[in-house]
Amino acid sequence: MRGDTLPTVSVIGLGYIGLPTAAIIARSGMRVHGVDVTQSVVDTINRGEIHIEEVDLDGLVQGVVQRGLLTASTEVTAADVFVIAVPTPFAKDGKHTPDISYVLEAARNVAKVLKAGDVIILESTSPVGTTAQMRDMIAAERPDLAMPGLTDGTPDVSIAYCPERVLPGRILEELTNNDRSIGGITPRCARKALAFYKRFVRGTCVTTDAASAEMTKLVENAYRDVNIAFANELSMVADSMGLDVWEVIRLANRHPRVNILTPGPGVGGHCIAVDPWFIVSASPEHTPLIRTARGVNDGKIHHVIAQASALVEANPNAKVACLGLAFKANIDDFRESPARLVAATLARRYGTRIHVVEPYAAELPREFEGTGAVRTDIDTALEECEVMIVLVDHDIFKSVPLAERADKQVYDTRGIWPDQPRAVVEPALEDQRKAG
Ligand SMILES: NC(=O)c1ccc[n+]([C@@H]2O[C@H](COP(=O)([O-])OP(=O)(O)OC[C@H]3O[C@@H](n4cnc5c(N)ncnc54)[C@H](O)[C@@H]3O)[C@@H](O)[C@H]2O)c1
Question: Using one digit for the tens of pLDDT, what is the confidence trace for 85-122?
Answer: 999 998 888 888 999 999 999 999 999 999 999 999 99
The residue among 48, 51, 133 whose CA lies nearest residue 98 is 133
Cβ neighbours for 407, distance < 8 A, ≥ 6 positions apart: 386
Picking from 166, 193, 210, the residue at the C-terminal end of a domain is 210
One domain for residues 399 and 253: yes
Inside any domain, residue 229: no
368 and 323 belong to one structural domain: yes
302 belongs to a structural domain:
yes
What confidence tier does 435 reach under pLDDT thresholds 50, 70, 90? low
d(CA 234, CA 352): 33
Which pLDDT score, from 0 to 100, does residue 39 have?
A: 98
- One domain for residues 198 and 289: no
End-to-end CA distance of the chain: 57
Helix, strand or coil, per DSSP, at residue 93? coil
Q: Do 249 and 205 sit in the same domain of this protein?
A: no
Q: Whose CA is nearest to atom 11 of ligand 1?
A: 124
Q: Average pLDDT, stretch 132-137?
A: 98
Entry pTM: 0.92
Q: Is 99 in the pocket of ligand 1 (CB under 6 A)?
A: no
Residue 418, CA distances (Å) to 213, 247, 250, 328 in order: 40, 9, 11, 19
Question: In 3D, which of 423, 349, 431, 337 has the Cα closest to residue 388?
Answer: 423
Q: What percent of the chain has pLDDT over 90?
A: 91
Cβ–Cβ under 8 Å, residues 95 and 51: no
Q: Per the domain annotation, does 1 fall within a domain?
A: no
Q: Are 98 and 127 in contact (CB under 8 A)?
A: yes
Q: At what angle do helices 275-282 and 288-314 cross, to 10 degrees?
A: 140
* pLDDT recorded at residue 426: 74
* Mean pLDDT along residues 148-153: 96
Closest of 167, 192, 187, 185 to residue 177, by C-alpha: 167
User: Could you say which of 186, 210, 234 is where a domain stops?
Assistant: 210
Classify the C-alpha dihedral 18-23-24-28 as positive or negative: positive
Residue 433's pLDDT is 65
Q: Kindly give the residue spans of alpha helices, DSSP state H, lying in 337-390.
A: 338-350, 378-384
**Ligand 1 centroid distance, CA of 10 (Å):** 15
Instruction: Report if residue 110 sits inside a domain.
Output: yes
Smallest CA-to-CA distance from 327 within 414, 386, 252, 244 is with 414
Residue 429's pLDDT band (boundaries 50, 70, 90)?
low
Whether residue 300 is found in the same domain as residue 204? no
Is residue 128 domain-shared with residue 51, that is, in the same domain?
yes
Q: What is the pLDDT of residues 44-58, one digit of tens each?
A: 999 999 999 899 999
Which CA distances in Å does 294 have to 267, 290, 302, 431? 9, 6, 13, 19
Label residue 164 exposed, middle or buried (CB < 10 Å: 0-12, 13-18, 19+): buried
pLDDT band at 21 (very low <50, low <70, confident <90, very high): very high
Residues 206 and 249 grouped into a single domain? no
CB 49, CB 11: distance < 8 Å: no
Confirm whether 385 is a catalytic residue: no
Kindly indicate the confidence band of residue 251, based on its pLDDT and cuts at 50, 70 and 90. very high
Q: Which candidate in 189, 205, 271, 322 is catalytic?
A: 271
- 275 Cα nearest atom in ligand 1: 43
Say yes or no: 337 and 414 in one domain: yes
pLDDT of residue 199 exceeding 60, the answer is: yes
Q: Convert the pLDDT of each residue in 353-393 to its tens digit.
A: 999 999 999 999 999 999 999 999 999 999 999 999 999 99
Q: Check whether residue 185 and residue 281 sit in a common domain.
A: no
My answer on whether 261 and 200 are in the same domain is: no
Query: 255 and 340 share a domain?
Result: yes
Last residue of a domain, one of 210, 227, 256: 210
The domain spanning residue 285 has which CATH number? Answer: 3.40.50.720
Residue 353 lies inside a defined structural domain of this protein: yes
For 403, the domain range is 242-435
Active site residue 217: yes
Asked whether residue 140 is assigned to any structural domain, the reply reads: yes
C-alpha 15/C-alpha 320 separation (Å) is 34
- How many domains in the chain? 2
Residue 44 lies in a domain: yes
Whose Cα sits closest to atom 27 in ligand 1?
A: 86
Within this chain, do residues 197 and 247 fall inside the same structural domain, yes or no? no
In a domain, 231, yes or no: no
Return the CA Rg of the chain.
24
